[in-house]
Amino acid sequence: MAYRDYQHFLDTLKAKNELKVITEPLSPYLEITEVADRVMKAQGPALLFQNPVGPPHRLGTPNPQSAVLNNPSIDPISRPQGSHAYAYPVAINTMGTRKRMSLALSCDDYEEHAERIAALLKPEIPNGPAEALKSLPKLLELKNAPPKPVKNALCQEIVLQGDDIDLTKLPILTCWPEDGGPFITLPLVFTHDPNTGKRNVGMYRVQLHNKNTCGMHWQMHKTGMRHMEDAGAQKKRIEVAVCLGGDPVYNFAAISPLPPGIDEILFAGFLRRERVQTVKCKTVDVKVPADCEFVIEGYIDPNERQLEGPFGDHTGYYSLAGQFPVLHVTAVTMREKPVYPATIVGQPPMEDGWMGKAVERIFLPMIQLTVPEIVDMNLPVEATFHNVAFVKIKKKYPGHAYKVMNAIWGLGGLSFTKFVYVFDEDINVHDLGEVLFRIGANCDPGRDTLHSRGPVDQLDHASVAEGFGGKIGFDCTHKWPGENGFARDYPKLITMSPDVVAKIDSLWPKLGL
């Protein structure tokens, strides 16, 4: 079932006892984060803060060591006394468990979408009319994928332009004490390729600089940055729309590692089994989902930079302040009585861990299409996903593990992986106990490692350079005779006889154990 809009999703969570309404007045400055952090780490419910209150947004930071204070274009202000009531409730942790992440994707369990994708990626030629009819439902699923333009939209019930624009009225979170200011943390950022016109939807944090300008955190590897650079080569500004809310499937589409040329809104339509209605923005030539809560329209000059950050990031550390593009806001549109969607990131586990897990499971069939020997993989939440990969393969020849390591380092977002551990197919890579046992039992550090270098996440503060660093792979498979200089017989793993296991299984209830 596709959601009509974001508040329909919240109503569904409430009906399933997955949403807790908080009436206590709490501030977007740190206080909401502290509550949400505790709840996320306890696998608690989604939260709706009905009364966000506090002082006006601090457009700067109290930390005297922060680089933000050295930026002459931002006037840091001390936190004023008194209270300010925000007009919009704040929703957070709406995707913070497997169940809610699945609900966000309009299914009972998000593995269902992996099965749908796998079926589409491996079509079989029908042997006759009967088989052709059986395959028809798979093709009909694609019928509802393309977006549907509309003229009237929920997200444009209220339109603010000119002096009426004031982003400081939104309950934008300042998440951590040394953050450079308030950050929009769950944005859908829409741009178009200036060469081809193709749309991109990404999730890039947006820092509030003042009432009508923001910092856009486009990292060097991101598509939004490519679009801006190409616009700059043509000496043009790039138009941008930042959306908040709508069907939560849009958030997943925005973080999905889609193949080049696959539109995120098309993919969202496939996931929700219903076309996404889109509407043209009021001041920029960008089409956005019609059911959003807020839309921030504007433009970016490719030649303009302003200090953005620091920001308490998903790495568990503050990402440092740096020079990033500036979004100039030309309009803010919204529905009547909107809800402000947010998330927080920090030391895992957090809500984003479940978003990442859904990406891992749903896109495994696409990875297997390129590297078919991969049976399963686990990107541990505790390692913030892009740092560590546990991979199991169906080993076919000596050195097979090394082939897989190199393949992973050439695959989209997986190319950022720093540590790759490759195992045989008889292990559960989601069981840390099994993983550690096989690492210790089958890997010789002097023989079974592969060192490499390449791109890493720009937020990786441990790398030798920004966006570039080292990688290492570990062959934790059973070694074949003669493989990589292994000259001895390899021992067998201890296992019980299947007939004995079956007998004891049948007797187990009688043993009283």
- Per-residue pLDDT tens digits for 337-383: 999 999 999 999 999 999 999 999 999 999 999 999 999 999 999 98
pLDDT at 455: 87
* Contacts of residue 38, Cβ cutoff 8 Å, sequence gap at least 6: 44
For the record, the structure tokens of 12 come out as 């569904």
pLDDT at 73: 43
Note whether 248 and 266 are within 8 A (CB).
no
Active-site residue (options: 5, 37, 313, 448): 313
pLDDT at 347: 92
For the record, the structure tokens of 200 come out as 């991109």
pLDDT at 128: 57
CA distance linking residue 433 with residue 24, whole number of Å: 42
Note whether 242 and 254 are within 8 A (CB).
no
Quickly name the fold that domain 6-341 has. Pnp Oxidase; Chain A (2.30.110)
Q: In this structure, how many other beta carbons lie within 10 angstroms of the beta carbon of residue 144?
A: 15
Q: Which of 490, 360, 376 lies closest to 424 in space, CA to CA?
A: 376
Domain parsing of the chain, residue ranges: 6-341, 371-485
Active-site residue flag, 448: no
The low-confidence residues of the chain, meaning pLDDT below 50, are 61-81, 131-132, 135-136
pLDDT at 63: 44
Tokens 């395959």 found at: 135
Residues in the chain: 513
384-432 pLDDT, tens digit per residue, is 878 999 999 999 999 999 999 999 999 888 999 999 999 999 999 999 9
Greatest pairwise CA separation for the chain in angstroms: 80
pLDDT at 66: 45
pLDDT at 61: 44
Q: What is the DSSP string of 90-108?
A: EEE-TT-SHHHHHHHTTSS
* CA dihedral of residues 251, 255, 259, 265 (deg, nearest 10): 20
CATH code of the domain occupying 371-485: 3.40.1670.10
For the record, the structure tokens of 173 come out as 């979170």
Q: Which of 470, 212, 175, 414 lies closest to 332 in space, CA to CA?
A: 212
pLDDT at 127: 59
Note whether 427 and 438 are within 8 A (CB).
yes
pLDDT at 76: 37
Q: Reduce the DSSP state of residue 310 to 3 states and report it.
A: coil
For the record, the structure tokens of 72 come out as 């002459």
* Contacts of residue 301, Cβ cutoff 8 Å, sequence gap at least 6: 237, 325, 326, 328
Note whether 286 and 239 are within 8 A (CB).
yes
Q: How is residue 167 annotated by DSSP?
A: G
CA distance linking residue 258 with residue 300, whole number of Å: 25
CA distance linking residue 128 with residue 125, whole number of Å: 9
CA distance linking residue 399 with residue 304, whole number of Å: 49
Note whether 335 and 238 are within 8 A (CB).
no
Q: Reduce the DSSP state of residue 277 to 3 states and report it.
A: strand
pLDDT at 132: 46
CA distance linking residue 205 with residue 62, whole number of Å: 21
